[in-house]
Amino acid sequence: MTMKTKSHAHNGNGSASDNSGGGSSSPSPPPSPPRHSSLSYCRRRVRSKAHYAQSLKESFGGGILLRRNLRYLLVLPMLYLSGLLMCVGPFSAIVGGPAPPGSVYRSHEMFWRLWRDVEADNSSAVELSSVWKYKRLKEQRPCPNSTAGRQFESSGPSGYLIVEANGGLNQQRSAICNAVAVAGLLNAILVIPRFDFHRVWRDSSDFGDIYDEEHFVATLEDYVKVVKKLPDLLMERYEHNITNVPTFHVEAWASISYYLGEVYPVLQKQGVIRIAPFANRLAMNVPPHVQSLRCLTNYEALRFSSPISTLANKLVDRMIAKSLRAGGKYVSVHLRFEEDMVAFSCCVYDGGKAEQIEMDLVREKGWRGKFKRKDRIIKPALNRINGKCPLSPLEVGMMLRGMGFGNDTSIYLASGKIYQSQRHLAPLLKMFPHVHTKESLATPEELAPFKDYSSRLAALDYTVCLSSEVFVTTQGGNFPHFLMGQRRFLYDGHAKTIMPDKQKLVVLFQDMDLSWQAFKDQMKEMLSESDRKGMMVPRVRKINRKTSVYTYPLPECRCLQKTIRL
């Protein structure tokens, strides 16, 4: 069912600022006026002659001190001002000038100013032939020279590898892929990865709750041996408590040589090794046979568990049925506008002082004193200018309407609980009445088993986004990167992804003189730029953290399957 919300009156307030100072509010008394009587002048002349010799002796050293003090007096204000500039951002904010372009959230004002034009303009809808042209069936070529399985032949395993993956759904997914790669590299037997419970994600799911364990083990059988637990003899050694296994702390983005030189000897000696935490503990730039294991794990072995995949496929079918106006095709949006994301970004929207107080409480609850450290300076204006602020639902709606998507477009929102959802979703629903979420597509009974598990809910969103013809990412992170990579893999590099230029967007959203037509022209240009960025990279020669195998599948990844049907 389509989401409904109450319309709210337009709030024209901009972001709040606190101009209170730390000093006294009472002004200092004015200095006394100078005295010009001739008597006092003569007395000063007499005193000055009498003490001339003594003052001459002192003046030499005093002059030096005075000159030094003057230098300090000149330098200190300059240092103070430069510190202010670094802490609070642009100089105009200090001297009271206009806010720099893009530094203030005024999108709600822009929306209401242009709303009549937006509402009247539904004639330039995106041509279906250009947006919805990719099919859900792709033929894949078989790999001519697959090398993943033949690199790890040995007389016997070196020991057991235990890893603890931390973070959310896709950070854990990265850790699992790395664990398989490391197990293959070290010729180790991998114990089904354990998931670390995090106070922000608050998900106690085990591996089997999210992924199909049997499929995982069977897919990797010819490459890496995977077991569900340690043998009883080893468990007895550690009192049947896997956390008693000594922890090996591995540096982030560790190289192959590090694992072979430092980790492998310990594994051979002890017979079992535990690495925790295990997020980002393997470099992206690894030999092809190790990279192939990552590919095999990510695109073949990791399949969602039956409860997740069953409901997720139902949601896809229902989303297609809701999109009959466009031939069953829809747009999915990864909207990172949950309360914790808004708080973590340290960005300011249109909630004024109440929003600031609320976000301070959320930051303290989720990250304790992290945001109150002396070395942590919060700069909302600078964050926004640099494109680090999550797009609000209103901004996403204006961007898509500007790009040409008509108000009959069906949109699926992949998101947790949206911050102040009624207020922030109202403008989006005015522009796109056909907005759906997992909560609106599924019944309460269907969602009940997933309700308190953020990773399982994210897996539902992941599947529905994977099946959409157009995917919009608004904030980055592991979720969109993994999703873009898998869509490239499925659609042979031709999946349509919209990656907005937020540094450009924030400037446009603050320009109160911009017409709707001018805004549309900018959005059409951004859409074309997104198409260029979203194209498949056939072979990334230089692998780094931004161009990982998860985002840009190499040919070794793309030829894993002959036929893929969603």
Pick the closest to residue 104 from 341, 300, 350, 293 (CA basis): 350
Q: What is the mean pLDDT of residues 148-155?
A: 51
Note the pTM of the prediction, 2 decimals: 0.79
* pLDDT of residue 236 exceeding 80: yes
Work out whether the CA dihedral 393, 399, 401, 403 comes out positive or negative: negative
- Integer CA distances (angstroms), 351 to 110, 347, 380, 387, 462, in order: 16, 11, 14, 20, 30
pLDDT at residue 374 in the model: 82
* pLDDT of residue 76 exceeding 60: no
Please state, rounded to an integer, the average pLDDT across all residues of the chain.
80
pLDDT at residue 399 in the model: 97
Percentage, residues of the chain above pLDDT 70: 71
Q: What is the mean pLDDT of residues 95-107?
A: 84
200 vs 462: CA distance, rounded Å: 19
Is 342 exposed, middle or buried, given 0-12, 13-18 or 19+ CB atoms closer than 10 A?
buried
Q: What is the mean pLDDT of residues 441-456?
A: 94
Q: What is the mean pLDDT of residues 428-436?
A: 96
pLDDT at residue 243 in the model: 86
* pLDDT of residue 401 exceeding 90: yes
Cis preceding-peptide flag for 277 (omega within 30 of 0): yes
Percentage, residues of the chain above pLDDT 90: 56
* pLDDT of residue 283 exceeding 80: yes
Q: What is the mean pLDDT of residues 199-226?
A: 90
Residue by residue, what is the 3-state secondary structure of 355-414?
HHHHHHHHHHHHHHHHHHCCCCCCCHHHHHHCCCCCCCHHHHHHHHHHHCCCCCCCEEEE
pLDDT at residue 514 in the model: 97
pLDDT at residue 289 in the model: 87
Angle of helix 288-296 relative to helix 169-186, nearest 10 degrees? 140
pLDDT at residue 71 in the model: 53
Q: What is the mean pLDDT of residues 178-187?
A: 96
334 vs 58: CA distance, rounded Å: 74
The amino acid at residue 513 is D
By mean pLDDT, which of 113-127, 273-287, 402-416 is the weakest? 113-127
* pLDDT of residue 12 exceeding 50: no
Give me the half-sphere count of Cα atoms (radius 13 Å) on the Cβ side of residue 143. Answer: 16
88 vs 84: CA distance, rounded Å: 6
Pick the closest to residue 299 from 183, 470, 176 (CA basis): 176
* pLDDT of residue 142 exceeding 60: no
380 vs 344: CA distance, rounded Å: 11
pLDDT in tens, 536-565: 454 444 555 555 788 888 676 766 643 333
Work out whether the CA dihedral 43, 44, 47, 48 comes out positive or negative: negative
Pair of tokens at residue 402:
């500007």
Pick the closest to residue 400 from 508, 534, 526, 533 (CA basis): 526
Judge contact between 159 and 267, C-beta under 8 A.
yes
Q: Cα dihedral angle (407, 408, 410, 413), rounded to 10 degrees?
A: 20
369 vs 376: CA distance, rounded Å: 10
pLDDT at residue 343 in the model: 94
33 vs 14: CA distance, rounded Å: 46
pLDDT in tens, 305-314: 999 999 999 9
Judge contact between 164 and 196, C-beta under 8 A.
yes
By mean pLDDT, which of 5-19, 178-192, 353-367 is the weakest? 5-19
Judge contact between 133 and 41, C-beta under 8 A.
no
pLDDT at residue 263 in the model: 96
Judge contact between 298 and 561, C-beta under 8 A.
no
The SS3 of residue 283 is coil
pLDDT at residue 134 in the model: 56
| Token pair 């850790």 in the structure block, residue | 175
